[in-house]
Amino acid sequence: MGKPDIGVRNLLVKLLSYGILVFFVLLCLYFDYVTRGLFLSGSNIVNILQQTAINTIIAVGMTFVIISGGIDLSVGSILSLAGVLSTMSLLQVFSRMHQGPAVTAWPLVVAVLVAGMVSMAVGAAAGAFNGFCITRLRVTPFIATLAMMGSARGLSMVFTDAVPISPLPTAFTNVVGGPSILRAIPPLVPLAILVFVVGYVVLTQTDFGRRVYAIGGNQEAARLSGVNVAHTKLGVYTIAGLLAGLSGLMFAARVGAGDPKSGQMFEMDAIAAVVLGGTSLMGGTGSVAGTLLGSLVIGVLAVGLDITDVSTYWQMVIKGGVILLAVVLDQLKVRLGSVGL
Amino acid sequence: MKKIAAVLAAVAVAATLSSCAKRATSTGPVVGVTLLTKAHPFYQQMEKAMKEEAAARNMTLRIQSAETQLGTQNSQVDGFITQKVAAIVICPVDSASIVGAIRRANDAKIPVFTADIAAKGGDVVCHIASDNVAGGRLAGEHMVKLLKGKGEIVVIDYPTVTSVQDRTKGFMEAVGKSQIKVVGRPNGDADRAKSMAAMDNMLQAHPGIKGVFAINDNTALGVLASLSHAKRTDIVVVGYDGDPEAREAILAGSPLKADAVQYPREIGKTTIEMVSRHLSGEKVPANKPVEVGIIDKESLEAEKKQ
């Protein structure tokens, strides 16, 4: 076999670089065709976005971690711990301020602000602890975050006795969890877009972002060229924890309870989104834009397979197959020599 | 391990002897019971009913709790074997891993009964548990009543669990006799958030549905969250379990209209009855399904007034 023509090869690489995008578009068109236009209707697009939002927020943090050459298995447990603690504080503040019959917006606003801070602080603290163990105590990321996965889940059980924190104030679940923007869109969706944009800017436009790529590519080379590896890694895990924590409160608002059992296996969905988006588990390459597409593919698959009434067992087979296919295509792209999305 | 078991058994025997010495009035057979846990209301009610029934039948119960620890349950069974109890009742911590302990009791010729959760092997005289098929049927009949026998509905399923398979089997049987059509059966993993997402998807795919069967209360609460976000008050939900949060939702007039419920007291009472009948030489069935019931707003309000 002779070498493929250089033009054909370039075209192939281009196509593969946009492989996930092509796949995403084809998937949407397929589901839309099968459901006769229902899939890409306005209300279902909102449905897909709101089901994708939590995974997107977590996966943006996971992208930082994986590009830096690490992994974070604790995000699902951090989500539940932050969800539990923030809803507990929300109820405390709300019940103290909301006395008497006069209903004003203030107690809710204050309670949501307090709960938001608690959720992010809990998440960031847990993430920073991960970073501390990895950089100072020299524990590998897999083990450090595996330990946090167990401990954070255990703590949320301890604080709640395994009983969900509920009912939450309906004003809270309606405004924060429900379709309160233009009576159609839950706040979760613009929040996910905001997180995506900030993540994109930080990773591509700041020194910190460049350091994340540098230590993921070659940690020793990065250290020798003056990058503070420990600081950067601490930042990376703190970001992942903070975003998981914020998701905890938003998740509780959607479900209507601070559930200590929530978030199980979320780390796997986040890792899948990152990998589908073309970020290498070896570190050093990848993008937040790819992650967004990966997360959307997972969301579109979940909604599409439900709507077209595919059985649970086949759904598991198909979802597994898609992840494998994406990674195989990605390997092909690397072998043909491309620079990424 | 054996040594530890032996020591534990010795302690158990000593404890038994001393307690026997204190109240040697009871002359009936001694039955060892190892519960899954004493921390759950379900088991607390079951235990209470067991004690009452045993007292009525002049039997002595030695009730212990494994607190979900397989090792503890094993040594409890070994303790009962050393005590030469007349029969052993087990609510297994794990269906597969309890088989060894059951075989040891079989070797010692002590009859074994299982309650609530079945074992996957060993010789068990009788297994006593809720009839989930009947529970599903009750839920289905209630759905037929609520929808006056027609309309499209969905089932938020969790098809990988046997007890849930029984529930949906009974439900489908009941609605199959009416004009009601099940148009979707997505998986909700018996989890609130997953069930909410599944319900969101069903509202997109089948906006005209009139009812939902949720295979347990976590599922039902997820469905309620979805319906509330979508402001759909025209859809009725029937759940399963009767957890406190679901009871409140039914009382508050939410779309959750009814729940199929298990009766732990009935399971406890029937278990002791089966043990007693077996010990007096009667033949008992290998499986004894216990009736389940249904609660709705009316029944809960009546219960509250009592």
Per-residue pLDDT at A328: 83
Please report how the helices B192-205 and A229-255 are oriented relative to each other, as an axis angle in degrees rounded to 10.
60
Helices (runs of H) and strands (runs of E) counted in chain A: 14, 0
Name the minimum distance, in Å, from the CA of B193 to any CA of chain A. 6
Residues of chain A with C-beta less than 8 angstroms from the C-beta of B200: 47, 50-51
Domain shared by B170 and B229, yes or no:
yes
- Confidence band, pLDDT 50/70/90 cuts, at residue A100: low
Half-sphere exposure of residue A208, counting CA atoms within 13 Å on the CB side?
16
Ordered structural domains, chain A, with CATH:
6-336 (1.10.3470)
* B148 in any annotated domain: yes
Single out the residue in B84, B103, B124 at which a domain terminates: B124
The tally of CA atoms less than 13 A away on the side-chain side of residue A189 is 17
Q: Does A102 have pLDDT greater than 60?
A: no
Q: How many Cβ contacts (< 8 angstroms) between chains A and B?
A: 74
Regarding whether B114 and B180 lie in a shared domain, the answer is no
Residue type, A223: R
- The verdict on residue B13 lying in a domain is no
> Of A173, A307, A313, which is closest to B205 when you measure between CB atoms?
A307
The H-assigned helical ranges of A68-103 are 75-97
- CA-to-CA separations, A4 to A9, A14, A336, B41, in angstroms, rounded: 6, 15, 10, 71
Interface test with A, best of B204, B248, B250 (most A CBs within 10 A): B204
Residue B19 located in a structural domain: no
Q: What is the pLDDT of residue A283?
A: 92
A-chain residues within 8 Å CB-CB of B243? none
Provide the residue type at A77 as one letter: S
Q: What is the DSSP letter of B57?
A: T
B31 with B159, same domain: the answer is no
Beta-sheet strand order (sheet of B150-156):
B179-184, B150-156, B211-214, B236-240, B256-261, B293-296
B140 and B252, same domain (yes or no): yes
pLDDT tens, N- to C-terminus, chain B (306 residues):
555 555 555 555 555 544 444 444 456 899 999 999 887 778 888 999 999 999 999 999 999 998 888 888 999 999 999 999 999 999 998 888 899 999 999 999 999 999 998 898 899 999 999 999 999 999 999 999 999 999 999 999 998 877 889 999 999 999 999 999 999 999 998 889 999 999 999 999 999 999 999 999 999 999 999 999 999 999 999 999 888 889 999 999 999 999 999 899 999 999 999 999 999 999 999 999 998 999 999 999 998 887
Which candidate from A51, A167, A262 shows the least CB-CB separation from B197? A51
Say if B182 is an interface residue toward chain A (CB within 8 Å).
no
B82 with B162, same domain: the answer is no
Across A162-172, average pLDDT:
85
Work out the percent of chain A whose per-residue pLDDT is above 90: 65
CATH of the domain at B53: 3.40.50.2300
Which tens digits make up the pLDDT trace of B225-257? Answer: 999 999 999 999 999 988 888 999 999 999 999
Q: Which tokens go with A302?
A: 């979940």
Please tell me if residue B160 touches chain A, with a CB cutoff of 8 Å. Answer: yes
Please give the residue of chain B at the shortest CA–CA distance from A32: B205
Q: Cβ A44–B204 below 8 Å, yes or no?
A: yes
Q: What is the pLDDT of residue A1?
A: 44
**What's the pTM?**
0.78
Average pLDDT of the residues in A27-49: 93
Closest Cβ–Cβ partner in B186, B196, B229 for A306? B186
Residue B24 has a pLDDT of: 43
pLDDT score of A2: 46
Do B301 and B167 fall into the same domain?
yes
Whether pLDDT at A341 is above 50: no
Which two three-digit tokens encode residue A135? 């950089």
Choose one of B99, B124, B149: the last residue of a domain.
Answer: B124
> Helix count (H) and strand count (E) of chain B?
11, 12
B224 part of contact set with chain A, CB < 8 Å: yes
- Domain with B84, as residue range(s), is 2-8+25-124
Which residues of B are less than 8 Å from A257 in CB distance?
192, 221
**C-alpha to C-alpha distance for B301 and B152, rounded to whole angstroms:** 29
DSSP bridge partners of B259: B239, B295
- What average pLDDT score do residues A238-267 get? 93
Q: Please, what sign has the CA dihedral across residues B168, B169, B172, B177? A: negative
Residue B54 maps to a domain: yes
The Cα A98–Cα A111 span in angstroms is 10
Can you say how many angstroms the Cα of residue A200 is from the centroid of all Cα atoms in its chain?
Answer: 13
Contact B193 A254 (CB under 8 A): yes
Q: Does residue B163 form part of some domain?
A: yes
Interface ipTM: 0.79
Residues B229 and B194 in one domain: yes
**pLDDT, tens digit, 9 for 90 and up, residues A113-152:** 999 999 999 999 999 999 999 999 999 999 999 999 999 9
- Tell me what pLDDT residue A140 has: 96
- Please give the Cα distance from A120 to B99 (Å, whole number): 47
Residue type, A121: A
The CB density around residue B133, as the number of other CB atoms within 10 Å, is 19
Residue B292 lies in a domain: no
Eight-state DSSP code of residue B58: T
Same domain, yes or no: B156 and B82: no
Model pLDDT, residue A294: 94
Closest-CA distance of chain B to residue A140, Å: 32
Decide: B76 and B66 in contact? Cβ < 8 Å.
Answer: yes
Tokens coding B11:
């302690």
Residue B181 contacts A where some CB pair is shorter than 8 Å = no
User: CA-CA distances (angstroms) from residue A234 to A65, A226, A227, B72?
Assistant: 10, 16, 13, 43
Indicate if B223 and B165 belong to the same structural domain: yes
Q: Are residues B113 and B193 in the same domain?
A: no
Indicate if B136 and B171 belong to the same structural domain.
yes
- The whole-angstrom separation of Cα A100 and Cα A121 is 31
Q: Which of B106, B124, B142 is the last residue of a domain?
A: B124
How confident is the prediction for chain A on average, in pLDDT?
Answer: 90
Interface test with B, best of A32, A255, A298, A318 (most B CBs within 10 A): A255
pLDDT of amino acid B7: 56
**CB-CB under 8 Å, B187 with A315:** yes
List CB contacts (< 8 A) between A173 and chain B: 225, 228
Distance between start and end Cα atoms, chain A? 29
Position B281 in a domain: no
Does the distance separating the beta carbons of B225 and A43 come in below 8 Å?
A: no
Asked if residue B275 is part of any domain, the answer here is no
In the prediction, which pLDDT does B21 show? 44
CB B270 within 8 A of CB B285: no
How many CB atoms neighbour CB A102 within 10 A?
6
- What is the identity of the amino acid at A185? I
Residues B43 and B153 placed together within one structural domain of the fold? no
Does residue A3 surpass a pLDDT of 90?
Answer: no
- Calpha distance B212→B201 (Å, rounded): 13
Q: How many domains does chain B have?
A: 2
Q: Residue A105 to residues A113, A117, B229: CA-CA distances in angstroms?
A: 12, 19, 20
